Structure 1
Amino acid sequence: MEFVIKISQFLLSLSLLIVLHELGHFIPAKLFKTRVEKFYLFFDVKYSLFKKKIGETVYGIGWLPLGGYVKISGMIDESMDKEQMAQPPQPWEFRSKPSWQRLIIMLGGVTVNFILAAIIYIFMSFGYGDIDVSADSVKDGYWVTNPLLNELGLQTGDKVLAINGNEIVNYSDLKKYFLEAQIVSIERNGVKQDITLPEDFLGRLSSSKSRGFFELRYPFVVAKVPDTSHNKSAELKKGDVLVAFNNVPVKYFDEVKEKLEPYKGQTIDVEVLRGNDKFTKQLAVSPEGKLGINPGGSLTDLERLNYYDIIRKEYSFGESIGVGLNKFTNQISSYWTQLKLIFSPSTGAYKGVGGFKAIFDIFPDKWSWESFWSITAFLSIMLGVLNLLPIPALDGGHVMFLLYEMVSGRKPGDKFMEYAQMVGFFILIALVLFANGNDIFKAIFN
């Protein structure tokens, strides 16, 4: 069932983005009286799952879910329709239109992607507001979940003060600055120090089995006691908090393994907090040092137990416009930064490039509209930015040649454009193979 939920979100999000992107080309093409021969979701190599001709355009769904396209008459694109291009130009063809109209048609897709992302962020700000954790309230530091960070000198309990000189005010700032982290300023046992990360840190992080870094330290909140658990008869409930083992306080879940180590194969007294009531249960510790209880917890639990100061912000619709646009610009800036790091071999960030599986994995296994729209907004920005790359066969490649034409007054020849399109196509295939190959490599060796 979890797989069905994830794949449903994945396909719905990509389908929405592809259709709207292609609609961004379709609408200006029709406004400028340019004939659109096909409008397709996914690629129809050899055959289509569905197609219907309405007017001069065939609308359809292909079987190969690698994107979508609109086929515009008189344009050298992925269809490589040389026969049409060999005929004299017609008034309804793309090549017969003024360069400024062709530029608008080519920029239509990414424009829609950016507008969609901005609208999503605006309405999410209005509908959900913002929730964060004050960094000042993180008294006992963070949980370092990635062994790589331990190797580089970071430990659970470290309080992060700044990254590259940028002060950490809220928990979300950690993710905001961590991508370009070079110097992490921490406080450990009351002593401040700087941890310098290696230049290839992102590459090493991408190659590690764990993708975590600094997590909030949660109490041991019971999420579920499986039927197979040796403590299934203890009558623990979801939301119960285990606060002490044999009268020894256990404040955070990351302390549990160490606290249970001396009691392997024994029975211990566990103090349980349920609502405002405390009581003691006898629980068995397995020979492996486990209780057989699935941990959970949410920000609501942290707030209820006074672990951290939770910051909630709600916005009027007018305020949401400014907040949403700010999130939109910050996300674009962040993604450009990621691309810059990926194309810098010394960082090793290219090892983290992923394909369809990587995109699939970011969707939650429980349906959440908030998560769905947040991920869709990010993917819309990603699709827009990637399409602006000056690679022939992408929108950015067409825009590059159009700008050359507008500046020089000379239009690149059809034969040159055919060769450029072929080169761009092979570059794209190579990038797709590399990204999805990374997914396969990680699945096998991580």
Structure 2
Amino acid sequence: MEKGQLLEILIMAGQLILGLSILVGLHEWGHMAAAKMFGMRVEKFFIGFPPKIFGIQRGETEYGIGAIPLGGFVKISGMIDESMDTEAMNKEPQPWEFRSKPAWQRLIVMLGGIIVNVVVGVFIFIVIAYKDGEKILLKDEVNKYGIVAGELAKQIGLQTGDKITKVNGKPFSDFRDVISSDVFLGSNSSYTVSRNGKEVNIDIPNNFIEKLSDPEEKGKFIQPIMPFKVGELVADMPASDAGLKVGDKIVAIDAKPIQFYHEFQDEVPKHKGQEIDLGIERDGKPSNIKVKVSNEGTVGLRPESLLAFTTINYTLNEAIQEGTKEAFGVVYNNIKGFGKIFRREVSASKALSGPIGIARMFGGEWDWQNFWRLTGLLSMVLAFMNALPIPALDGGHAIILSYEIISGRKPSDAFLENAQKVGMVLLLGLMAFAIFNDFWKIIF
């Protein structure tokens, strides 16, 4: 493994651990805050699972960090949870215990984590919308030169140079509509393209989302054809070492004219380990620079598009609306995704991702905007997953407590213990499947 690859893996892991630690910590804080509000005793608040790395006692609660960073927990006195402390449950209920409180208070405690995750997710999306606005590529710019069709796009019949005129039979406004969840999570989706003066309809298979489950593949599906200049240089890579500068416009490789970035991407890997002659324009003047391509077929530059992006700046009120819409759109997309699994349009093994898959979504570069956007997305996903009516999850507890409130009958401790055991087996099985599935995707 090369040094650069190791650094990318460490950055991916670091972003995943930081993002999950923030979200899990806030989720468990939601449970703890609600419990303390109703006078329940919280024995432990941990980010990460045992073995314990660090712990400090403050009042009745021990706050700590566990060695396994992909989770966390709070231990509330008198509650049957993953600790399965049944010995304590055999004693007489105490006033400060979870089981001694009214069902409606216990329900609020169980929903506390979900509520906090929803609030955090919505808040993150609102802040991003207000602070950064949104850069979009309008239809006319998308079709200025047409699209670059990646391998997956070619599989469904798209070609480089196609100009997309309709999405699902309707005109579209900007590039977001072309790659939206409505296209990939919907049924019987299609593109209408203009090709050599003719209109061609391209059907998108209902299971196509399986092939886009890899973040790298999704990014290579289709992109607008773009003229470019050098936007960023990677330190200690051939382009930087050869004297290429940010702002240079590459117009030729070994005297072969280059206008668009996909042409540059196609040509450079053909010269692995060889020296190429880059024709450039710098400050309007032509020049040539010799660059040796790495053995991996790269030179270490990132492009800056010369297409005209439109920036939308939101007022605070608009940002609240846009951020809230985007946050709950994550939940809606998850529901549509599960619908595809249940209809057997996609397989669970292709659709579900574990820690490795999520880390790959963050990517090997530390981009704070991308980090917070994905953290906001994960916050909404965490809320949605915890709301599922599975024993051992918050949603499972909420269903049982709702039954108690409606019927006036409290389930027996034996039933709660068995439900918790069944839920834990399901969750551990799902976690093992997700992790194994991540490795399977990487290997095969």
**TM-score of the superposed pair, with normalisation by structure 2:** 0.87
| Equivalent runs, 1:127-166 vs 2, <5 Å | 127-138=131-142, 139-145=144-150, 147-165=151-169
Distance 2:328 2:86 in 1: 40
Q: Map of 1:241-260 to 2, 5 A cutoff?
A: 241-244=249-252, 249-256=257-264
Query: Structure 1 pair 232/76, CA: closer, same or farther in 2 (3 Å)?
Result: closer
In structure 1, the gaps of 5 or more residues are none
> Does structure 1 retain, via aligned residues, the 8 Å contact 2:280–2:289?
no
Whole-Å separation in 2 of the counterparts to 1:218 and 1:143:
9
Q: SS state of the match for residue 389, structure 1? A: coil
SS at match of 2:331: helix
Q: Which amino acid aligns with 1:62?
A: G
1:146-192 deviation digits (Å, cap 9, x = unpaired): x2321221122222333334543111223323322532222222322
Where do 1:35-434 residues align within 5 Å?
A: 35-44=41-50, 47-138=51-142, 139-145=144-150, 147-165=151-169, 167-176=171-180, 177-180=182-185, 182-206=189-213, 210-211=217-218, 212-219=220-227, 221-222=229-230, 223-224=232-233, 235-244=243-252, 249-256=257-264, 271-275=279-283, 277-281=284-288, 293-298=299-304, 302=305, 305=306, 307=307, 309-348=308-347, 350-434=349-433
- Retained in 2: the 8 A contact 1:37–1:70? yes
Q: Counterpart amino acid of 1:192?
A: E
- Label 1:163 to 1:425 Cα distance change in 2 as closer, same or farther (>3 A): farther
Residues 259 and 376 of structure 1, relative CA distance in 2, 3 Å threshold: closer
C-alpha separation in 2, matches of 1:264 and 1:117: 44
| Partner Cα separation in structure 2 for residue 86 and residue 296 of structure 1 | 64
3-state SS of paired residue (2:94): coil
| Percent identical | 40
- 2:237–2:300 contact (8 Å) kept in structure 1: no
Coordinate RMSD, CA, aligned: 3.2
| 2:215 and 2:361 in contact (8 A); partners too | no
- CA gap of 1:166–1:441, structure 2 versus 1, over 3 A, is farther
CA contact (8 A) 2:107 2:401 kept: yes
Between stretches 200-209 and 5-14, larger displacement belongs to 200-209
What secondary structure does 1:210 align onto?
A: helix
Whole-Å Cα distance in 1 between the matches of residues 365 and 156 of structure 2?
34
Q: Cα gap change, 1:424/1:166 in structure 2, threshold over 3 Å: closer, same or farther?
A: farther
DSSP-derived class of the 2:345 partner: helix
- Determine if the alignment matches structure 1 residue 12 to structure 2 residue 11: no
Q: Is the 8 A contact 2:149 2:158 kept in 1?
A: yes
2:194 aligned counterpart, secondary structure? strand
* 1:201–1:348 contact (8 Å) kept in structure 2: no
- The letter for the 1-side match of 2:74 is V
In structure 2, how many angstroms separate the alpha carbons of the residues matched to 1:224 and 1:375? 25
Q: Is the CA contact 2:242–2:291 (under 8 Å) kept in the aligned structure 1?
A: no
2:391 & 2:177 partners in 1: Cα distance? Answer: 37
Superposition TM-score, scaled by structure 1 size:
0.86
Contact 1:25–1:107 (8 Å) recurs in 2: yes
Structure 1 residues 112-139: Cα deviation after superposition (integer angstroms, max 9, x where no partner): 0000011111222221111111122122
Residue type of the partner of 1:254? H
Question: Structure 1 360/247 Cα, relative in aligned 2: closer, same or farther at 3 Å?
Answer: closer
Query: 1:24–1:351: structure 2 CA closer, same or farther, 3 Å change rule?
Result: same
**SS of aligned partner of 1:242:** strand
Task: Please name the residue that 1:28 is paired with.
Answer: 34
The 8 Å contact of residues 341 and 349 in structure 1, kept in 2 or not, is answered as no
Deviations 1:8-35 (A, max 9, x none): 3222211111110001111111111111
Using the TM superposition, give the Cα deviation of residue 394 of structure 1 relative to its aligned residue in structure 2, in angstroms: 0.4
Residues 333/161 of structure 1: CA separation in 2 closer, same or farther (3 Å cut): farther
1:40, 1:266 → 2: CA distance?
54
Counterpart CA distance in 1 for 2:354 and 2:329 is: 23
Between the aligned partners of 2:255 and 2:217, the Cα distance in structure 1 is 33
Please tell me whether the aligned partners of residues 271 and 278 of structure 1 are also in contact (alpha carbons under 8 angstroms): no
More moved, 338-347 vs 426-435: 338-347
Q: Report the Cα distance in structure 2 between the residues aligned to 1:356 and 1:272, rounded to whole angstroms.
A: 43
How far is 1:384 from its partner? 0.5
User: One-letter code of the match for 2:365?
Assistant: K
Partners in 1 of 2:410 and 2:114 — Cα distance?
A: 23
- Confirm or deny: 8 A CA contact 1:226 1:293 kept in the other structure: no
Where in structure 2 are there 5+ consecutive unaligned residues? 1-6
Residue of structure 1 in register with 2:439 after alignment: 440
Distance 1:225 1:412 in 2: 61
CA distance in 2, matches of 1:297, 1:430: 43
CA contact (8 A) 2:17 2:70 kept: no
Give the superposition deviation at 1:224.
4.4
Counterpart contact for 1:391–1:397, Cα < 8 Å: yes
C-alpha contact (below 8 Å) 2:185/2:333 kept by paired residues:
no
The Cα offsets for residues 310-362 of structure 1, whole Å up to 9 and x where unpaired, read as 11122333332222222222232223222333444332354131111111112
